[in-house]
Amino acid sequence: MAVRRILAPGQPAQHEMRTAWWVAQAAQVLLTFIADLPYTSGMTQSHNTHDVAIIGGGIVGMATAMALVRRYHVSLIVLEQESTLAAHQTGNNSGVIHSGLYYKPGSLKAKNCLVGREAMYRFCQEQGIAHDRCGKLVVAVDESELPRLDELERRGNANGLKGVRRLCAEELRDYEPHVAGIAGLHVPETGIVDYKQVTEAYGRIVTDAGGTLRTESRVTGFRRAGSDFVLTTVKGDVPCRYLINCGGLQCDRVARLCGVEPGLQVVPFRGEYYELVPERWGLVKNLIYPVPDPRFPFLGVHFTRMIHGGVEAGPNAVLAMRREGYRRTSFSFRDSLQMLTYRGFWKMAWKYWRTGMSELHRSFSKKAFHHALQRLIPELRIEDIHPHGAGVRAQALDPSGALVDDFRFVEAERMIHVLNAPSPAATASISIGETIAELAGRNFSLPLAA
């Protein structure tokens, strides 16, 4: 006997509802894909040929620009895709001036951090930028972490840090009364600052020296015109003689656009933060860090007193499905497809899938995030924290699935590409900028300033 389904007036059949849902999903993916496509504009072209064009207005790009205009007599332009400087990694980090404790002695990270840290303190003092050399604790909560704490102490001494002190459980509470641990290190040379303000100060120095900053100028094309390069942007063509790529989250794509194979791919990791409610700020005097896992370039969730007030807790490290994806729901068809078709990604995922699932769980579970923070401060209550934004880290991954740890600069004909500049790049930015400027002076034969 045939059965006829009776629907309420205006209620669609189930298959029609499914069809409508799939159409909506397909439309969303299509719109995301279209938004990611290069855009060309009929706006006025730049007829002036600049000596140097820098792609990227983050802290590394602006520090490089500052070093170039201070050292050489050059016409320079910085091209930034967003409406402001420091819109991505620079403007969404913890604001910590790192001491140099973590980094392998002799590495580019160690060398640039040590020099850059002191340069950063001097620059902030000269420019009147609020900062505080407040120090931090690195805390071991169980005996399994003691060998790693020993290694950090060894690295700190090898890197020339001053005043690093090994602490027992009772001594930890002399610095942070609410912390729990069995041992730790006090690192007095660590500090805090607002890196967005630092980057803006770099920008003022560049423009005062005659450099040009052009925001909302995403680079979409590259070609050679005789002895010059021509960069196509959404605001028109920009001719230049030399190119420096400080594209951050897009640096590998910029390199390929310019005909340079980077030998790696950027995989975005979102770091999510919580903030302590004001009445519980007293739980943290300065900075409290766990002993990090040496397998990863991430430092673990920690507590950071912020220079403008408040205490931040985090970040975690969860895979992002969009390179500028600051929310769990952020998605880019182009970014996701490129990541999921990269063999290095799958090798990394196979090796670290358990860690990835743990980070994903902590992303969706405030209880899990709170539990991780309680390892350092047991009296922290779940109601003491609330969500406080996120940042995205441009993690370089090589084809073998290895996470590229050290800074990586690639030189090509009349080009320099900064392909990996993770933390402590903000701390070390002045030193990095001077290093790149020195490379540029040698490779580009730039005339010294008078």
Q: Give the residues across from 287 on adjacent strands.
A: 136, 304
Indicate whether 21 pLDDT > 80: no
Indicate whether 33 pLDDT > 90: no
The helix, strand and coil proportions of the chain, stated in percent and rounded to the nearest 5, come to: 40, 25, 40
- For the domain made up of 265-403, the CATH class stated in words is alpha beta
Indicate whether 394 pLDDT > 90: yes
Model confidence over 378-393: pLDDT tens digits?
999 999 999 999 999 9
pLDDT band at 87, cuts 50/70/90? very high
Q: What is the mean pLDDT of the chain?
A: 90
Indicate whether 44 pLDDT > 60: no
Cis geometry, peptide bond prior to residue 378 (ω within 30 degrees of 0): no
Q: What is the pLDDT of residue 418?
A: 98
Q: What is the pLDDT of residue 22?
A: 45
How large a percentage of the chain has pLDDT more than 70?
A: 89
CATH 3.30.9 positions along the chain are: 265-403
**C-alpha–C-alpha distance, residues 53 and 55, integer Å:** 6
**C-alpha–C-alpha distance, residues 300 and 373, integer Å:** 10
**In this predicted model, which residue has the larger pLDDT, 220 or 1?**
220
- The whole-number average pLDDT for the span 221-245 is 97
Q: What is the pLDDT of residue 45?
A: 54
Indicate whether 40 pLDDT > 60: no
Q: Quick check: helix, strand or coil at residue 128?
A: coil
Q: What is the pLDDT of residue 10?
A: 40
Which distant-in-sequence residues (6+ apart) come within 8 Å of 398 by Cβ?
Answer: 263, 264, 344, 404
Helices first, then strands: H and E counts in the chain = 11, 20
Which distant-in-sequence residues (6+ apart) come within 8 Å of 296 by Cβ?
Answer: 317, 352, 355, 403
**In this predicted model, which residue has the larger pLDDT, 406 or 22?**
406
Q: What is the pLDDT of residue 300?
A: 84
Indicate whether 31 pLDDT > 50: no
Indicate whether 128 pLDDT > 70: yes
Q: How many residues does the chain have?
A: 450
Q: What is the pLDDT of residue 294?
A: 75
> Poorest-confidence range of 51-65, 237-251, 290-304, 395-409?
290-304
The burial of 353, by beta-carbon neighbours within 10 Å (0-12 exposed, 13-18 middle, 19 or more buried), is given as: exposed
Model confidence over 405-440: pLDDT tens digits?
999 999 999 999 999 999 999 999 999 999 999 999
> Poorest-confidence range of 24-28, 277-281, 287-291, 416-420?
24-28
Indicate whether 295 pLDDT > 80: no
3-class secondary structure per residue, 147-209? HHHHHHHHHHHHCCCCCCEEEEHHHHHHHCCCCCCCEEEEECCCEEECHHHHHHHHHHHHHHC
In Å, the largest CA–CA distance within the chain is 97
Indicate whether 36 pLDDT > 70: no
Place of tokens 């005043």: 163
**C-alpha–C-alpha distance, residues 164 and 169, integer Å:** 16
Which distant-in-sequence residues (6+ apart) come within 8 Å of 144 by Cβ?
Answer: none
> Poorest-confidence range of 29-38, 81-90, 279-288?
29-38
Superfamily in which the 37-132+190-264+405-450 domain is placed by CATH = FAD/NAD(P)-binding domain (3.50.50.60)
Note whether 239 and 229 are within 8 A (CB): yes
Taking the CA atoms of residue 65, residue 71, residue 74 and residue 80 in that order, the dihedral angle to the nearest 10 degrees is 0
The burial of 367, by beta-carbon neighbours within 10 Å (0-12 exposed, 13-18 middle, 19 or more buried), is given as: exposed
**C-alpha–C-alpha distance, residues 156 and 105, integer Å:** 9
CATH 3.50.50.60 positions along the chain are: 37-132+190-264+405-450
Model confidence over 180-217: pLDDT tens digits?
999 999 999 999 999 999 999 999 999 999 999 999 99
User: Cα 74–75–81 angle (5° rounding)?
Assistant: 125
DSSP 46-72: P-S-EEEEEE--SHHHHHHHHHHHHHB
Note whether 53 and 244 are within 8 A (CB): yes
Q: What is the pLDDT of residue 20?
A: 43
